[in-house]
Structure 1
Amino acid sequence: MSTNNNIAKPKRRSKLRAKMGMLYYGLLRKLLWIKLKPVFAVKKADAALPYLHFCHKTPLLRKLKDVDMWYQYNKIINLKIAVKQINGIVLHPGEIFSFWKLIGKPTKHKGYVNGMVLRNGTFTSAIGGGLCQLSNLIFWMTLHTPLTVTERHRHGYDVFPDSNRTQPFGSGATCFYPHGDLMIHNDTPYDFQLVVTVTDKYLEGKWYSTKAQDYRYKVTERNHEMKGEYWGGYSRHNELYREIFDKNGNYISEEFILSNSAIMMYSPFLCDSADKQR
């Protein structure tokens, strides 16, 4: 089934325009932080809350085509610094978790180093690079809880082909300081706590709560499509839904989560003429 999405050919903006845009949107973000300051989650707890709602882990090192491994070794350094700022944070009813409000701006002074970032359809290095793995993990886990994601961003480019993918395309959340944030609202009457650790091999995360799970969630992909665009490139699209089950595994309902559209920076596998005739 086609999603009937079309993506315009990307425009290359001047460095000056890009810088001015960052300043403008950065100012708007800081004004928003001032407005929302009373409801941001800021308190941590050493002991985990009693009920585990969801856990997930992702490998720290993964071989990517044409990407030197030093990017990923530096990413681990950056993750360890960032995790210290959010590990144990408690999200009380009515509060908002803000990825960047808690972590702050990644700088050399704080110990951050150059890591891989995706920009304009390719990869480069920047201070604090690699923190998207952390925002990806938190977003994916949150989709399996009753918490509400109020802000999430997706890369406009699909840079690398699927390699041992275990989650649907577009199920992550990119981050770029300060206005590319991940925000999560606790509109339940119970406390939730985020626990994140960096082990020897994995980035591991868990959402705990003061209330046991009433429901279980399953994220599914639909209407996945790769297609050629009129300007010669390829694009990729899909929709994500969340199926809801009770504690006994009985299906209750489903809800639409989001749709994704991205420009592909690699050629998709195309079937040959014989396959088309089948």
Structure 2
Amino acid sequence: MVQSLKPIHRSKLRIYIGKKAYRLKRYSEWWLDGKTYSKKREETKLPYLHFKHKTPLLRQLKDVEMEMQHNKVTNLKLAVKRLNGVIIQPGETFSYWRLIGKPTKRKGYVNGMILHYGKVTSGIGGGLCQLSNLIYWMTLHTPLTITERYRHSYDVFPDSNRSQPFGSGATCMYNYLDLQIKNETSKPYQLVVYITDTSLVGEWRSVEAVAKTYKVYEKEHSFTRESWGGYVRHNMIYREVYNTSDELIDDEYITENHAITMYEPFLTYDNAGDFSASTRTDK
């Protein structure tokens, strides 16, 4: 499964033109692709909780100013208002960006941290990947079908209290790097997302009790040294499926991940991303 990658260097003009072209393509798809996109939101929660997860709002990262983290919270609060309570009826497709819309200053979005070709920078609406990551992770624990998801091309920060497998998130960029989820079940599902003092919280809810539970895990995790001098990180994501009697009934392949590593992988790091030892044999 090992895939060789190397950094790609593109001019600013090439990036600008590429974004314009991909965005126009996405706009045309939203109107012409024949999908029925979910848009209705309900304040009342559906009765049965299928999965719930939360992630911390603020995290100290090496060489990243905390102002960017606080700005991210501002952006998340605006995006959450557009998604909270959305109902996905059977046959409908959830589109992350179609519901949120374009993040702009006029709407109140501010500069937050974004990852641009492996480098940490800032941009309007930065930090919304935390929300798409959360939704993707939660969806892996439901019968909903992920029809479009993009993995991160760069692994920028070393693991710091990571509780989920590497590559279990979904990167986003308006509007061409979208997260789309289709409800191929016979029952409606509802996405509930909200912010507390310390966390971004999400729930998937439905009208019937949980019939299956899921355990997401990784296989074949490795780092490879590439000929151009850097490292690439790899793994495969699977999930075990259990019935209501807690019996294993399936073991499903989800995806594989390959990302250029922007740090020395065989060092030990503290919570801020600074290394504290010179040797490490594996993750």
Q: Distance in 1 between matches of 2:115 and 2:280?
A: 35
- Tell me how many residue pairs correspond in the alignment: 272
Among all aligned residue pairs of Structure 1 and Structure 2, give the percentage whose two residues are the same amino acid.
57
Partner residue of 2:84 out of 73, 77, 87: 87
Paired position in structure 2 for 1:197: 194
Q: Which amino acid in the other structure matches residue 98 of structure 2?
A: K
TM-score in terms of structure 1 length: 0.95
What SS does structure 2 have at the residue aligned with 1:20? helix
Q: Which amino acid in the other structure matches residue 171 of structure 1?
A: S
Partner residue of 1:180 out of 177, 181, 185: 177
- In the TM superposition, what is the alpha-carbon distance from 1:11 to its structure 2 partner? 2.3
After superposition, give the CA deviation of every residue in 1:13-67 in whole Å (9 maximum; x if it has no partner): 1111111111111111011100247600010111101111000000001111111
Paired position in structure 1 for 2:167: 170
Q: Distance in 2 between matches of 1:40 and 1:11?
A: 34
Root mean square deviation, CA, Å: 1.7
- In the TM superposition, what is the alpha-carbon distance from 1:270 to its structure 2 partner? 6.2
Distance 1:61 1:275, change over 3 A: closer
* Structure 2 residues not aligned, in runs of 5+: 269-278
Is it true that 1:29 corresponds to 2:29 in the alignment?
no
8 Å CA contact retained: 2:212, 2:244? yes
Q: Distance in 1 between matches of 2:280 and 2:38?
A: 54
Is it true that 1:139 corresponds to 2:136 in the alignment?
yes
Paired position in structure 2 for 1:55: 52
Paired position in structure 1 for 2:108: 111
Paired position in structure 2 for 1:150: 147
Partner residue of 1:68 out of 65, 82, 85: 65
The residue correspondences of 1:222-233 to structure 2 (distance < 5 A) are: 222-233=219-230
Q: Distance in 2 between matches of 1:166 and 1:157?
A: 19
What SS does structure 1 have at the residue aligned with 2:62? coil
8 Å CA contact retained: 2:49, 2:204? yes
Q: Which amino acid in the other structure matches residue 205 of structure 1?
A: G
- In the TM superposition, what is the alpha-carbon distance from 1:213 to its structure 2 partner? 1.1
Q: Which amino acid in the other structure matches residue 125 of structure 1?
A: S
- In the TM superposition, what is the alpha-carbon distance from 1:155 to its structure 2 partner? 1.4
Q: Which amino acid in the other structure matches residue 35 of structure 1?
A: L
Q: Which amino acid in the other structure matches residue 53 of structure 1?
A: H
Paired position in structure 2 for 1:6: 4
Distance 1:275 1:36, change over 3 A: closer
What SS does structure 2 have at the residue aligned with 1:109? coil
After superposition, give the CA deviation of every residue in 1:200-253 in whole Å (9 maximum; x if it has no partner): 000000000012111000001000001100110111000000100001211101
Partner residue of 2:95 out of 83, 88, 98: 98
What SS does structure 1 have at the residue aligned with 2:63? coil
TM-score in terms of structure 2 length: 0.93
- In the TM superposition, what is the alpha-carbon distance from 1:177 to its structure 2 partner? 0.3
Structure 1 residue ranges (4+ consecutive) displaced by more than 2 angstroms after TM superposition: none
Partner residue of 2:256 out of 250, 256, 259: 259
Distance 1:191 1:16, change over 3 A: same
What SS does structure 1 have at the residue aligned with 2:209? coil
Is it true that 1:210 corresponds to 2:220 in the alignment?
no
Q: Distance in 2 between matches of 1:275 and 1:241?
A: 26
- In the TM superposition, what is the alpha-carbon distance from 1:275 to its structure 2 partner? 9.4
Distance 1:123 1:183, change over 3 A: same
